[in-house]
Amino acid sequence: MRSLNTGATGMLAQQLNVEVISNNIANMSTTGFKRQRAEFQDLLYQNLRRPGVTSSDANTIVPSGIQIGVGVRAAGVYRINEQGNLTSTGNPYDIAISGKGYFQITLPSGETAYSRAGSFQLDPTGNIVTADGYTLQPGITVPQGALSVNIDATGIVEAQIAGQAQPQQLGQIQLATFVNEAGLDAQGDNLFLETAASGQPTVGNPNAIGFGSLRQGYLETSNVNPVQEITNLISAQRAYEMNSKVITTSDEMLQVSSRLKS
- Verify that 9 and 97 share a domain, yes or no: no
- Verify that 54 and 123 share a domain, yes or no: no
pLDDT, residue 190, reads 93
Q: Which residues contact 26 (CB under 8 A, 6 or more apart)?
A: none
| Orientation of helix 2-26 relative to helix 226-258, angle to 10° | 160
Give the model's confidence band at 178: pLDDT under 50 very low, under 70 low, under 90 confident, else very high: very high
- Verify that 93 and 199 share a domain, yes or no: yes
pLDDT, residue 27, reads 95
- Verify that 206 and 233 share a domain, yes or no: no
Mind listing the pLDDT tens digit for each residue in 189-215? 999 999 999 999 999 999 999 999 999
Q: What value does the mean pLDDT of the chain take?
A: 91
The stretch 52-74 carries a mean pLDDT of 82
- Verify that 124 and 184 share a domain, yes or no: yes
DSSP state for residue 167 in the 8-state scheme = P
Of residues 107 and 251, more confidence is placed in: 107
The stretch 23-48 carries a mean pLDDT of 91
Mind listing the pLDDT tens digit for each residue in 212-244? 999 999 999 999 999 999 999 999 999 999 999
- Verify that 233 and 195 share a domain, yes or no: no
- Verify that 9 and 53 share a domain, yes or no: yes
Show the domain range for 18. 2-81+224-258
Percent of the chain's residues with pLDDT above 70: 99
pLDDT, residue 114, reads 97
Percent of the chain's residues with pLDDT above 90: 75
User: Of 148, 13, 18, 28, nearest to 93 (Cα)?
Assistant: 148
CB 10 within 8 A of CB 250: no
**Greatest alpha-carbon span in the chain:** 104
The stretch 54-61 carries a mean pLDDT of 78
pLDDT, residue 121, reads 93
Sign of CA dihedral 97, 102, 104, 107: positive
Q: 179: helix, coil or strand?
A: coil
Determine which of 98-112, 171-185, 195-209, 246-260 has the lowest per-residue pLDDT on average.
Answer: 246-260
Around 5, how many Cα atoms within 13 Å sit in the side-chain half-sphere?
9
- Verify that 103 and 205 share a domain, yes or no: yes
The stretch 44-53 carries a mean pLDDT of 79
pLDDT, residue 202, reads 95
Please give the Cα distance from 85 to 96 (Å, whole number): 10
Give the model's confidence band at 61: pLDDT under 50 very low, under 70 low, under 90 confident, else very high: confident
How many domains is the chain partitioned into structurally? 2
CB 125 within 8 A of CB 140: no
- Verify that 97 and 64 share a domain, yes or no: no
CB 134 within 8 A of CB 123: no
pLDDT, residue 38, reads 94
The DSSP element (H or E) to which 129 belongs, if any, is: strand 128-129
- Verify that 32 and 91 share a domain, yes or no: no
DSSP state for residue 211 in the 8-state scheme = S
Residues facing residue 171 across a β-bridge: 157
pLDDT, residue 43, reads 86
- Verify that 127 and 200 share a domain, yes or no: yes
- Verify that 9 and 135 share a domain, yes or no: no
Over 80: is that where the pLDDT of 56 sits?
Answer: no
